[in-house]
Amino acid sequence: MKRAERGFDVVKAGHIEFLVTDLAEARKFYAETLGFVVTESDRTHVYLRGLEDRHHHCLMLTKSDTPGVGHFAFRVTDESELRAVEKMVKGRGWYSRWVDPGEESGQGRALMVEDGFGFPVEFYARMAPEEWLLQKYQDYRGAKVMRLDHFNIMLPDVASAYDWYVGGLGFGCTEITETEGRRPDLWAAWLRRKHTCHDIALTTGKGPRVHHAGFTVSDRASIMDAADLLAASRYLKSMERGPGRHGVSNAFFLYLRDPDGNRIELYTGDYISADPDWVPIRWKLNDPRRQTFWGAPTPKSWFNEAMMVRSPRNGEFRKILAPKIRDRPDYLLSVR
């Protein structure tokens, strides 16, 4: 489906809402330790941005009894396009509702959707501008987080979600993982609107769950400095995996769990994917360098745990369903 049929353009992964049980603890982790910038906060929310961001927030922390993800959001080019999104969503029979300007602080009018895979996805065009801190080097702290890069979601049926993101929303596909065999299944896909490796990755697993949100840092040194910093402070156990190199995306990574167990990735080193004739890079599920280019083992928590998502219809967490195909490489089948 081309743009003319869609009537709108998704720009990029815009922001994500993490549910946290202790707002002060979460702020200590994200702002004071990792160096996210606090744009605004109140008794139930902290709105954070990266050093490269020129808008109100890319990460929103919301006080909650239970951790997880409230919603994640894509930016579209113009507010007038949101009705086209609504039309497409309604055409699929999915739930949606309008979010008033300012209902989420800093944000213009938005459309909140529960997609057919169970994820709470928001579409918005306007976000309040904020000062650019990219060259305020004197304010750099911690991991020197630059910006949100992508969401990684787990769900039982990747192929259907691929159709929606590529066919419906016009995402390009940069890399895929497929199962072994003569008639391979699509196991995971890395999809982008902006010109990087991805804005969203779809991976096979129990879901709907959000596996992590990826945030960009400038270079490998920032990631290793963050690892030293976290180990030296009281966040040793927050480091779940890495630093290491992914085969997929070529990114240099460090995965962290916040005090509530919500997962983020510090991420650097992918590529520019602007070419219109980009042929997806293909990986086999069992290729050991796909997951970790250097071959180091992945902890089982990384495969088994992910963030529950809250339904925008009733505020309850979505029930988890099992995948139709196996959710990990053969060499990790015993890791449960």
Q: Which residues bind its own copies (CB under 8 A)?
A: 11-12, 33, 52, 54-55, 75, 77-78, 126, 129, 132, 134-138, 140, 146-147, 193-196, 216, 218-221, 224-225, 227-233, 236-237, 239, 243, 245, 247, 250, 252, 269, 271-272, 274-279, 281, 288-289, 293-297, 299
Q: Which amino acid is at 7?
A: G
The Cα 161–Cα 116 span in angstroms is: 8
| Closer by beta carbon to its own copies, 12 or else 206 | 12
Nearest approach, Cβ of 62 to its own copies (angstroms)? Answer: 24
The Cα 158–Cα 201 span in angstroms is: 10
| Closer by beta carbon to its own copies, 12 or else 326 | 12
Nearest approach, Cβ of 333 to its own copies (angstroms)? Answer: 19
Nearest approach, Cβ of 219 to its own copies (angstroms)? Answer: 5
User: DSSP H helical segments within the chain, as ranges?
Assistant: 3-6, 23-27, 82-91, 158-162, 220-232, 288-291, 300-304
The Cα 188–Cα 174 span in angstroms is: 11
| Closer by beta carbon to its own copies, 229 or else 321 | 229
| Closer by beta carbon to its own copies, 102 or else 129 | 129
| Closer by beta carbon to its own copies, 71 or else 246 | 246
Please report where in the chains the tokens 């402070």 appear, as a residue: 233
Nearest approach, Cβ of 193 to its own copies (angstroms)? Answer: 8
Nearest approach, Cβ of 137 to its own copies (angstroms)? Answer: 4
| Closer by beta carbon to its own copies, 117 or else 171 | 171
Cα-Cα end-to-end distance for the chain: 40
Q: Is the peptide bond before 243 cis (omega within 30 degrees of 0)?
A: yes
Return the closest-CA partner of residue 1 out of 117, 77, 88. Answer: 88
Nearest approach, Cβ of 93 to its own copies (angstroms)? Answer: 30
| Closer by beta carbon to its own copies, 279 or else 322 | 279
Q: Which two tokens stand for residue 186?
A: 């699509």
Q: Which two tokens stand for residue 331?
A: 């060499």
Task: For the beta carbon of residue 59, count every other beta carbon within 10 angstroms.
Answer: 22
Q: Which two tokens stand for residue 215?
A: 């945030």
Nearest approach, Cβ of 136 to its own copies (angstroms)? Answer: 6
Compute the half-sphere exposure of residue 97: CA atoms within 13 Å on the CB side of its CA: 8
